[in-house]
Amino acid sequence: MSVQTAPAENLKINRERLWDSLMDMARIGPGIAGGNNRQTLTDEDGEGRRLFQTWCEAAGMTMGVDAMGTMFMRREGTDPDALPVYVGSHLDTQPTGGKYDGVLGVLGALEVVRTMDDLGIKTKHPIVIVNWANEEGARFAPAMLASGVFAGVHTLDYAYARKDLDGKTYGAELERIGWKGDETVGARKMHAYYELHIEQGPILEAEGKDIGVVTHCQGLWWLEFTLTGREAHTGSTPMAMRVNAGLAMARILEMVQEVAMAAQPGAVGGVGQMKFSPNSRNVLPGSVVFTVDIRSPDQAKLDGMRAQIEARAAKICDELGVGHSVEAVGHFDPVTFEPELVEHVRTAAERLGYSHMNIISGAGHDACWAAKVAPATMVMCPCVGGLSHNEAEEISPDWAAAGTDVLLHAVLETAVIVE
């Protein structure tokens, strides 16, 4: 009989086993400065997937893989007809990524299942652990590509056609590493979705809190600008004769900073990737391609920044005689997570005696797309100095354990313990 009992406050995960699994995974696709370079659909990603599969199958779970390469590991519930509670994140990393971004959420979910197995805990709803493919969007834009297809935001054809900087497509690379599954993307229905993730910002550590109760996630635009100048000699071309796409890019970056600062509080804007062609020291660039990343939890502010940046960028380029085009290559509106699940996270932190505070996620996560198709929320733990997307990303074993303990309790509340 399924009863809605709350997990006991002394119910906790095996923190040593969790930390060992994080360190074991971190050995796959090592970076050059202590972090990871396990970019999506690389051989290293494939190796990490196989290790995760081995661990899950050793815990008696069965694997499904969809046509985007997302992995689903199922632990049976007592009611086979009940929709599963999904718990997950991503194993792919940035090229100079940390050991915990995404990985804590996937291996924290595995630790939840392992703890349930240790204690013989049965739940009405099955549990499914998810390793979403291509969350980072570093190699194939946009970020959260596979969860976006799952939520019906992108088509499979669009996703397969996405190219990396070497011109390789997502579809070809997925075939190459042998992780193109046969499941229809998005066919699975979720009872609920939870994601544990490091904050990737400084707030929780600065406030001395163990747990972030994530109520919302800020929205995002990725605006890819292509500026067209005229290739010319950097030495013999008089300044007045230049059609300088590099200068236009610099003025646009300065303008983005100004627009984001004027939109404070609660707005960010910047550029992480740019490409000069022909990228030769003594040739003025014929083409400059770069992506502006702007975000805000406030819809009007987010869209207002986009409109202002596009209008002012056009003016900057016209003044310099530089051609320009802009394409939105990534977008999601601000997300409000499911209040009932948010409350499960909050009461779990209180039951376990962990300090906590409400927080809005600054980074995007697969939970943002999961929230379009199911009740969803997140649990966050601090990270040292708020640093992430950097090989020096660090968390404490205490923070990892606290976040996973809360995840365990919230998942059990939703999956319903069966005595």
Contact pick of 103, 313, 363, 407 for ligand HGY (by CB under 6 A): 363
- From residue 341, how far is each of 19, 46, 176, 301, 415 by CA, in Å? 26, 32, 38, 27, 11
- CB of residue 239 vs Mn ion: minimum separation in angstroms? 41
112-151 residues near ligand HGY, rule: CB under 6 A: 135-137, 143
Least Å distance between CB 351 and ligand HGY? 30
Among residues 44, 45, 92, 101, the one that binds Mn ion under rule CB under 5 A: 101
Per the rule left: phi > 0, alpha: psi between -120 and 50, beta: everything else, 134 is: left
In the bound state with Mn ion, the residue whose beta carbon lies nearer, of 217 and 263, is 217
Q: Is 102 in the site for Mn ion (CB under 5 A)?
A: yes
Q: How far is the CB of 283 from ligand HGY (least distance, A)?
A: 32
The site string for ligand HGY over 307-346 (x = CB under 6 A, - otherwise) reads ----------------------------------------
CB-based burial of residue 261 (10 Å sphere; 0-12 exposed, 13-18 middle, 19+ buried)? exposed
CB of 374: closest distance to ligand HGY in angstroms?
A: 20
Q: How far apart are CA 395 and CA 373, in angstroms?
A: 31
Q: In the complex with ligand HGY, which residue's Cβ is closer, 272 or 278?
A: 272
Please, where are the H alpha helices in 59-150?
A: 103-119, 145-150
**C-beta of residue 291 within 8 angstroms of C-beta of residue 224:** yes
**Pair type for strands 283-284 and 376-381:** unpaired
Kindly state the smallest distance separating residue 137's Cβ from ligand HGY, in Å. 5
Strand spans (E) along 218-266: 219-228, 232-233
Residue 102 binding target from ligand HGY, Mn ion, none, CB below 5 to 8 Å by type: Mn ion
DSSP 3-state of 337: coil
Minimal distance in Å, beta carbon 393 to Mn ion?
A: 9
Partner touching 137 among ligand HGY, Mn ion, none, CB below 5 to 8 Å by kind:
ligand HGY
* Residue whose CB is less far from Mn ion, 101 or 173: 101
Q: Do residues 134 and 42 make contact, with C-beta atoms less than 8 angstroms apart?
A: no
Residue 143, contacted partner among Mn ion, ligand HGY, none, CB below 5-8 A by kind? ligand HGY
Binding residues for ligand HGY, rule CB under 6 A, total: 6
Sheet holding 268-277, edge to edge: 268-277, 287-296, 219-228, 323-332
Can you tell me the distance from the alpha carbon of 349 to that of 356, in angstroms, rounded to the nearest whole number?
7
- Contact positions vs Mn ion (CB under 5 A): 101-102
Q: Which residues would be at the binding site for ligand HGY (CB under 6 A)? A: 135-137, 143, 363-364
